Amino acid sequence: MTLSFNINILIFWILQLLLIPVMAPFVIGMTRKFKALFQNREGASIFQPYRDLWKLFHKDEVVSHDASWIFLVAPYIIFAVMIVIGAGIPLVSSAFPNILTSDFLLIIYLLALATFFLALAGIDTGAGFGGFGSSREMMVASLTEGGLILSLLSLALIAGTSNLFGISARIAALPFLHSTPLLLAFMSFIISLLAETKRFPFDNPATHLELTMIHEAMILEYSGKRLALIEWAAWGKYLIFIALGANLFFPMGISASLSLFSVIPALVIFILKVLAFCFGIAFIESTMAKYRIFRLPDLLFTSFIINIIAIALII
């Protein structure tokens, strides 16, 4: 019995470690496909992001004379953060309630760690674009943090724990979207998701126009394997946010144990939920114009206020 239990834990851990990086390009491919459908285009294959990564890993790199070791190391740190976060959030099972790195504050501040190095890398080459990208990135990131913390706090207050596995397990035991605060917190979470993953109306992930971009501006000078790592990590962050949204706000279908028979169907349900999120985000992106940069704070403060209402309804 102990042997099979250990094998299950091992499989679960490998799944936790690999799921985010393996699935992230697919999720981006699906989102792009959905967006193409909304625009009456056929769109690229959903496996195009994998091919992009393959191609980038086979290219040589050019690095600016002015760049320091920060520029060279940042992609590795950002990717490592993505892996560590992926191992600490509920993906297919809400068992393991005592993982010591899955506190929601810890996850949010780990994301900040990645943002910090990304912004530094943007400044490092001394190009104007990179610097402005970093400035905008830090502006959006610093204003998003409040809304994000409070929306996950609403969940933590309902669940009575700030551990993400614990939140997922407790919310799963409640009836489907049982309360208004949960819905409000989810609205605010979606705003944070769009801001943190640099999608419409905050940033246009498909552009290289200097006036509209944040994320692309910062990574403009990357090439080859480092560009691959940084893009991959950004896609991973997108999937992490979707996974948080899917498994914290709608945890139904998540496996309550680590046995293989419940994990495999849970994996299927998880992929379906992620696809639903991709569709929803593609829908938002296709029906909304990008905001002026100085209107973004309004949206972020709205997310903050919605949360305050949500928490007021809980306590």
Partner 1 sequence: MSAVYLQQLFPTILGLFTIGAIGSLIFRYDDEAAHAWSSIFSIVGSLSTLVFSLSLLMQGIGFSFAGYSTFPALTFSFTLDHLSVFFVFVISLIALAASVYGYGYAKQYIGKYNLGTLGFFYNSFILGMLLVVTSSNILFFLIAWEVMSVASYFLVIYERHEQANIKAGTLYFVMTHVGTAFITLAFLLMFKVTGSLDFGTIKLSLMTAPLWIQNMIFVLALIGFGTKAGIIPFHIWLPSAHPAAPSHVSALMSGVMIKTGIYMFIRIFFDLLGPAQVWWGVTILILGAISALLGVLYALSEHDLKRLLAYHSIENIGIIMLGLGSSLVFLSFGMKALALIGLIAALFHTMNHAVFKGLLFLGAGSVIHATHTRNIEKYGGLIRYMPQTAFLFLIGAMAISALPPLNGFASEWLTFQAMFSAVSSLGSTMGMIFVLAIGALAFTSGLAAACFVKAFGITFLARPRSDEAKHAHESSAPLLVGMYFLATLTLIFGVFAGKVTGILTVLAQALQNMGMSAETLNVLPSVSAVHLSNNFANMSLGLLFVGLVIALALIGIIVGLVTKNRKLRRDRTWDCGTELLPRMEITATGFSRSLIVIFKGLLRPTRQTHIEYHDAELRYFPKKSVVHLELKDIYLDNFYAPVQSFITRLSNQFKRIQSGNTNLYIVYMLITLIALLVILAH
| Contacts of the segment 243-246: beta carbons below 8 A, 24+ positions apart | 243/20, 243/89, 243/90, 243/91, 243/270, 243/274, 244/89, 244/152, 244/164, 244/189, 245/186, 245/189, 245/190, 245/193, 245/277, 246/270, 246/273, 246/274, 246/276, 246/277
- Considering only 36, 44, 120, 256, the residue that binds partner 1 (CB under 8 A) is 120
Give the footprint of partner 1 on residues 154-213 (CB under 8 A): 156-157, 160-163
Q: Which residues, 6 or more positions from 171, have their beta carbon under 8 angstroms from its beta carbon?
A: 155, 158, 159, 182, 248, 249, 251
Q: Give whichever of 150 and 281 is closer to partner 1, judged by the CB atom.
A: 150
Amino acid at 254: I
What is the 8-class DSSP label of residue 246? I
Q: Give whichever of 25 and 282 is closer to partner 1, judged by the CB atom.
A: 25
DSSP-derived 3-state class of residue 120:
helix
Nearest-approach distance from CB 220 to partner 1, in angstroms:
7
DSSP-derived 3-state class of residue 126:
coil
Give the footprint of partner 1 on residues 226-245 (CB under 8 A): 229
Query: Of the listed pieces 101-109, 182-190, 199-207, 238-246, which binds partner 1 according to CB under 8 A?
Result: 101-109
Give the footprint of partner 1 on residues 272-311 (CB under 8 A): 293-294, 297, 304, 308, 311
Distance CA 167, CA 17 (A): 20
Q: Give whichever of 145 and 285 is closer to partner 1, judged by the CB atom.
A: 145
- Considering only 128, 175, 211, 292, the residue that binds partner 1 (CB under 8 A) is 128
- Draw the binding track, 9-48, toward partner 1 (x: CB under 8 A; -: no contact): ----------------------------------------
**Residue 313, class by beta-carbon neighbours within 10 Å (0-12 exposed, 13-18 middle, 19+ buried)?**
middle
- Considering only 5, 10, 45, 126, the residue that binds partner 1 (CB under 8 A) is 126
Query: Of the listed pieces 95-103, 173-181, 252-260, 274-282, which binds partner 1 according to CB under 8 A?
Result: 95-103
Query: Of the listed pieces 30-38, 122-130, 259-267, 274-282, which binds partner 1 according to CB under 8 A?
Result: 122-130
Q: Give whichever of 167 and 282 is closer to partner 1, judged by the CB atom.
A: 167
